């Protein structure tokens, strides 16, 4: 009798299996270590959005979201371990929030058939979906960012920057070197001079670089920094009285963490933006009601509305919308990672869709396709107001110089395809 | 005078200032190694912990608030008061003394007479524990360090050098303060070590702790005292570096800047830490200025170690370290 009961229970559980299959999303977080101040809001933003979808909507078209979080400490090896440890749980998409991890995961996700989304980071040429079938980097990439910065400088100079000098202060790593080629090509086109100033990891001591800036007096300084490098650079710029409105950081040098240690001296600092800032969106009312007030906020619940929280939120929102697209394409709500990939490849974000989600004007419009995994290359410029203690977008979303970036993407991705033995093409 | 020479002079002066900041970190290592033979891997994390505690006290933050809120379902983060910088520094020092006492009571008292590598490994464990403990106690967000220290270009030096050279030198006010503080600290430490009873006891323990024990010097007291002094030095370093970059967990990495200074200046000399810091600071800045542009820049991190290695080849004990003589 006992055996029969156990058998019956197992049978019921097995039968119930598919119905209980949630849609699994991963958060490769870094809530500890030197980069925790950035990793916490990124993780919280993703987690809170997934919680909201579960609590308010009952999941994505009725399929509950299961979140698997794994702590990487921003360590590439640990990130790869997290990937290996969690991929068996049916994770639909990975967002490691680390260029180093992204590079390591590209061949793995391609072999495993799982999509990888590197929002504004990772390998830029992954935009070419004919080579990087499982990697997506919409809505914009580093090379778009370099072009956005130069476009902004062109705008404030009436379209002529010939003879001007732009210095790039960059983290001396693969990440920091990403924009150099684009900036060199743009220099040929617009006639500006480019000065390169590498900063060694972690970037706590930058006196040499800023003394050189003070001596050579470039008209603009661009920064590709991360972590403590950002805070030190902004303080050093203030120390030498470099005009903050001429100092523009990439979107990874654009959070409250980066400007607040310098206090009032950081007023006017500019940074590129992949998405909008602040918390003045209808979605935040739902977040407050269904997540925060319900005591279900991730972490300490104190990151809402910060730049990096919004980035996490945006990442999760794009994942959810891609999942919806995949459900529609394949006619099933219980999608697999392969179906998710198809959904990401067919994702289209319009202003109407974002407004419907409670995030009007939150991000640029873009459309993904097999040939274009990186969106349309739109980005904006934000500026820090130290008195108000907040960022504001000061430009519309503008498109990067596709004439320059397009050929670079094709060249770099073709080199990768040759190296990895990939035959280019769309399925 | 050629422009490059004038710029080189500015770089030289800034190298000296940077060297002082490196030396501030190295001093803590020297104190502990000199008295106990322990290479304290946790010195950088102690600077971080001291800075976190100082800012936490000044801002009136509730320690372990995340833990308290998670366990008891409360929402407490701040006491609602702020503490003046000087009082907060004194309170932080008290915390560092307590930490020194606990470290000795719980760890090193049990490791007396163990191999140096065992003691070194214990400090590695201490470093990681303290980093996590600091995170749990004060949170991992980046905090602004504001104890009223001036920052930014010194206008007087700028104007004076402009009058002489036609180019105003950049010297950071914070670096000038750090130099004055480091000078006072070194003088105070030397006077303490040479002319006070406790200082002489510390030197006796450093020379031969068994002989010191035999004449009634308390090893435990001396170690607590030395770790407290190192805690004070860590607090000073934490204030200076925290003012530059904000108080955050990368602050613990400043220990990496102290290693070449120690290799060069010796592990047992207080003046050696200062001179070593100055040589490293000037050397790396001048190398970056002269050779850096030819090799793509970012030479400072590795060149500091190359410089230290060159010195090591000729003086393995460092410039001011005690020469090791093994007699048969």
Q: Do A34 and B170 touch (CB under 8 A)?
A: no
Place of tokens 């994942």: A319
Q: Do A31 and B140 touch (CB under 8 A)?
A: yes
Q: Over pLDDT 90: what percentage of chain A?
A: 91
Q: Do A34 and B141 touch (CB under 8 A)?
A: no
Q: Do B301 and A227 touch (CB under 8 A)?
A: no
* Same domain (yes/no): A184, A244: yes
Whether A198 contacts chain B with CB within 8 A: yes
> Which SS3 state, helix, strand or coil, does residue A41 take?
helix
Q: Which of A198, A207, A214 sits opposite B297 (nearest CB)?
A: A198
Using the predicted structure, report yes or no on whether residue A9 has a pLDDT greater than 60. Answer: no
Count CB neighbours of A222 within 10 A.
27
Using the predicted structure, report yes or no on whether residue A21 has a pLDDT greater than 80. Answer: no
Bond into A101 cis (ω within 30): no
* Same domain (yes/no): A283, A260: no
> Which SS3 state, helix, strand or coil, does residue A170 take?
strand
CA distance linking residue B147 with residue A190, whole number of Å = 46
* Same domain (yes/no): A261, A282: no
CA distance linking residue B12 with residue B88, whole number of Å = 35
* Same domain (yes/no): A282, A262: no
Report if residue A215 sits inside a domain: yes
CA distance linking residue B92 with residue B87, whole number of Å = 9
Report if residue A392 sits inside a domain: no
* Same domain (yes/no): A235, A297: no
Chain-centroid distance of CA A98 in Å reads 9
* Same domain (yes/no): A54, A124: yes
* Same domain (yes/no): A154, A211: yes
Q: Using one digit for the tens of pLDDT, what is the confidence trace for A76-125?
A: 999 999 999 999 999 999 999 999 999 999 999 999 999 999 999 999 99
Instruction: Say how many CA atoms lie within 13 Å of A245 toward its Cβ.
Output: 4
Q: Do B245 and A232 touch (CB under 8 A)?
A: yes
Report if residue A385 sits inside a domain: no
CB-neighbour burial class of residue B164 (10 A; exposed 0-12, middle 13-18, buried 19+):
exposed
* Same domain (yes/no): A269, A285: no
Q: Using one digit for the tens of pLDDT, what is the confidence trace for B282-309?
A: 999 999 999 999 998 889 889 999 999 9
Could you tell me which of B246, B274, B216, B229 has the C-alpha nearest to residue B55? B246
Mean pLDDT of A2-18: 48
pLDDT means per 10 residues in chain B (328 residues)? Answer: 92 96 93 89 96 97 91 89 96 97 94 90 96 92 93 96 96 96 92 92 85 89 94 96 92 89 90 93 95 91 91 85 66
A179-207: b or e for each residue (b if 16 or more CB lie within 10 Å)? bbbbbebbbeebebebebbbbbbbbbbbb
CA distance linking residue B205 with residue A373, whole number of Å = 67
Q: Give the residue from B72, B138, B142 with the most A CB atoms within 10 Å of its CB, the best one to mutate.
A: B142
Pull the structure tokens for residue B15.
């190298």
pLDDT score recorded for residue B325: 65
What stretch of H or E contains A391?
strand A390-393
pLDDT score recorded for residue A7: 53
* Same domain (yes/no): A164, A134: no
CB-neighbour burial class of residue B8 (10 A; exposed 0-12, middle 13-18, buried 19+):
middle
Chain-centroid distance of CA A418 in Å reads 27
Q: What is the CATH number of the domain that holds A236?
A: 3.40.50.2300
pLDDT score recorded for residue A384: 98
CB-neighbour burial class of residue B236 (10 A; exposed 0-12, middle 13-18, buried 19+):
buried
Domain boundary among A244, A273, A302: A273
pLDDT score recorded for residue B206: 82
Per the structure, the complete domain to which residue A109 belongs is given by 2-140+277-376+407-420
Q: Which of A37, A263, A300 sits opposite B142 (nearest CB)?
A: A37
Report if residue A253 sits inside a domain: yes
Whether A301 contacts chain B with CB within 8 A: no
Main-chain phi, psi angles of B147, to 5 degrees: -105, 20
Rounded to two decimals, the ipTM of the complex is 0.91
* Same domain (yes/no): A158, A217: yes
* Count of structural domains, chain A: 2
Pull the structure tokens for residue A154.
């062109």
CA distance linking residue A369 with residue A244, whole number of Å = 39
Using the predicted structure, report yes or no on whether residue A12 has a pLDDT greater than 50. Answer: no
pLDDT score recorded for residue A18: 40
Main-chain phi, psi angles of B228, to 5 degrees: -65, -45
Q: Which of A197, A238, A260 sits opposite B144 (nearest CB)?
A: A260
Report if residue A382 sits inside a domain: no
pLDDT score recorded for residue B327: 66
Using the predicted structure, report yes or no on whether residue A17 has a pLDDT greater than 50. Answer: no
Place of tokens 């600091």: B134
Could you tell me which of B3, B66, B33 has the C-alpha nearest to residue B233? B33
pLDDT score recorded for residue A32: 87
Domain boundary among A251, A273, A295: A273
Using the predicted structure, report yes or no on whether residue A4 has a pLDDT greater than 70. Answer: no
DSSP character string of B163-176: HHHSSPPP-BHHHH
pLDDT score recorded for residue B292: 93
pLDDT score recorded for residue A8: 52
Q: Using one digit for the tens of pLDDT, what is the confidence trace for A147-187?
A: 999 999 999 999 999 999 999 999 999 899 999 999 999 99
Domain boundary among A273, A299, A328: A273
Mean pLDDT of A202-208: 92
Q: Do B142 and A239 touch (CB under 8 A)?
A: no
β-pair partners for A117:
A136
For residue A215, which residues of chain B lie inside 8 Å, CB to CB? 7
* Same domain (yes/no): A123, A204: no
Whether A354 contacts chain B with CB within 8 A: no
Report if residue A381 sits inside a domain: no
Q: Using one digit for the tens of pLDDT, what is the confidence trace for A247-262?
A: 999 999 999 999 999 9
Supply the angle between the helices B219-245 and B3-36 in degrees, to the nearest 10: 150
Chain-centroid distance of CA A14 in Å reads 39
Using the predicted structure, report yes or no on whether residue A14 has a pLDDT greater than 60. Answer: no
């Amino acid at each position: 009798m006992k055996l029969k009961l156990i058998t019956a229970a197992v049978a019921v559980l097995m039968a119930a299996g598919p119905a209980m299959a949630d849609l699994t999303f991963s958060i490769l977080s870094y809530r500890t270590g030197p980069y925790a101040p950035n990793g916490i809001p990124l993780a919280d933003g993703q987690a809170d959005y997934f919680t909201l979808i579960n609590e308010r909507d009952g999941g994505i078209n009725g399929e509950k979201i299961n979140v698997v979080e794994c702590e990487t400490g921003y360590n590439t090896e640990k990130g790869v371990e997290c990937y290996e440890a969690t991929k068996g749980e049916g994770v639909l998409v990975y967002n490691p929030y680390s260029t180093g991890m992204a590079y390591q995961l590209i061949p793995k996700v391609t072999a495993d058939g799982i999509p990888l989304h590197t929002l504004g980071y990772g390998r830029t040429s992954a935009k070419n979906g004919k080579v990087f079938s499982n990697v997506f980097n919409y809505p914009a990439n580093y090379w778009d960012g370099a072009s956005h910065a130069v476009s902004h400088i062109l705008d404030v100079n009436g379209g002529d920057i010939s003879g001007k000098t732009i210095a790039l202060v960059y983290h001396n790593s693969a990440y920091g070197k990403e924009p150099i080629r684009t900036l060199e090509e743009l220099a040929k086109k617009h006639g500006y001079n480019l000065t390169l100033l590498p900063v060694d990891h972690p970037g706590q001591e930058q006196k040499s670089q800023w003394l050189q800036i003070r001596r050579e007096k470039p008209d603009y300084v661009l920064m590709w920094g991360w972590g403590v490098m950002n805070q030190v650079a902004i303080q050093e710029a203030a120390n030498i009285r470099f005009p903050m409105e001429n100092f523009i950081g990439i979107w990874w040098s654009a959070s409250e963490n980066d400007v607040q240690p310098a206090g009032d001296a950081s007023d006017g600092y500019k940074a590129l933006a992949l998405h909008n800032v602040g918390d003045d969106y209808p979605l935040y009312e739902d977040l407050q009601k269904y997540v925060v007030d319900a005591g279900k906020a991730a972490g300490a619940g104190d990151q809402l509305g910060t730049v990096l929280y919004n980035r996490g939120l945006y990442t999760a929102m794009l994942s959810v919308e891609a999942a919806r697209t995949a459900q529609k394409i394949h006619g099933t709500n219980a999608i697999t990672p392969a179906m998710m990939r198809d959904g990401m490849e067919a994702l289209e974000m319009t202003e109407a869709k974002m407004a419907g989600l409670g995030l009007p004007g939150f991000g640029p419009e873009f459309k993904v396709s097999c040939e274009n995994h990186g969106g349309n290359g739109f980005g904006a410029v934000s500026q820090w107001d130290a008195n108000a203690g907040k960022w504001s977008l000061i430009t519309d979303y503008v498109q990067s110089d596709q004439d320059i970036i397009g050929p670079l993407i094709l060249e770099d991705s073709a080199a990768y395809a040759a190296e990895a033995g990939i035959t280019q093409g769309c399925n | 005078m050629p422009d490059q020479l004038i710029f080189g002079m500015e770089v030289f002066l800034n190298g000296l200032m940077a060297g002082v900041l490196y030396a501030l970190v190295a001093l803590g290592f020297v104190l502990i190694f000199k008295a106990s033979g322990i290479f304290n891997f946790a010195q950088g994390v102690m600077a971080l912990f001291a800075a976190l505690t100082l800012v936490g006290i000044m801002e009136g933050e509730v320690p372990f608030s995340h833990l308290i809120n998670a366990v008891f379902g409360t929402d407490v983060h701040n006491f609602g008061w702020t503490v003046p910088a000087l009082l907060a520094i004194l309170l932080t020092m008290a915390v560092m003394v307590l930490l020194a006492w606990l470290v000795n009571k719980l760890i090193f008292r049990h490791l007396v007479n163990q191999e140096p590598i065992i003691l070194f490994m214990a400090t590695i464990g201490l470093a990681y524990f303290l980093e996590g403990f600091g995170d749990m106690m004060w949170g991992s967000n980046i905090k602004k360090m504001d104890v009223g220290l001036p920052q930014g270009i010194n206008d007087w030096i700028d104007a004076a050098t402009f009058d002489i050279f036609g180019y105003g030198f950049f010297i950071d006010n914070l670096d000038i303060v750090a130099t004055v503080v480091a000078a006072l600290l070194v003088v105070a430490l030397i006077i303490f070590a040479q002319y006070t009873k406790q200082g002489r006891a510390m030197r006796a323990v450093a020379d031969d702790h068994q002989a010191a024990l035999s004449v009634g010097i308390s090893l435990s007291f001396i170690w607590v005292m030395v770790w407290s002094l190192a805690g004070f030095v860590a607090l000073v370093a934490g204030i200076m570096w925290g003012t530059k970059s904000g108080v955050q967990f990368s602050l613990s990495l400043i220990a990496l800047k102290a290693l070449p200074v120690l290799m060069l200046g010796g592990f047992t000399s207080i003046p050696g830490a200062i001179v070593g810091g100055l040589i490293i600071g000037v050397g790396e800045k001048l190398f970056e200025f002269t050779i850096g542009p030819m090799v793509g820049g970012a030479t400072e991190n590795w060149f500091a170690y190359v410089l230290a290695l060159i010195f090591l080849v000729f003086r393995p004990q460092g410039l001011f370290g005690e020469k090791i003589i093994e007699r048969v």
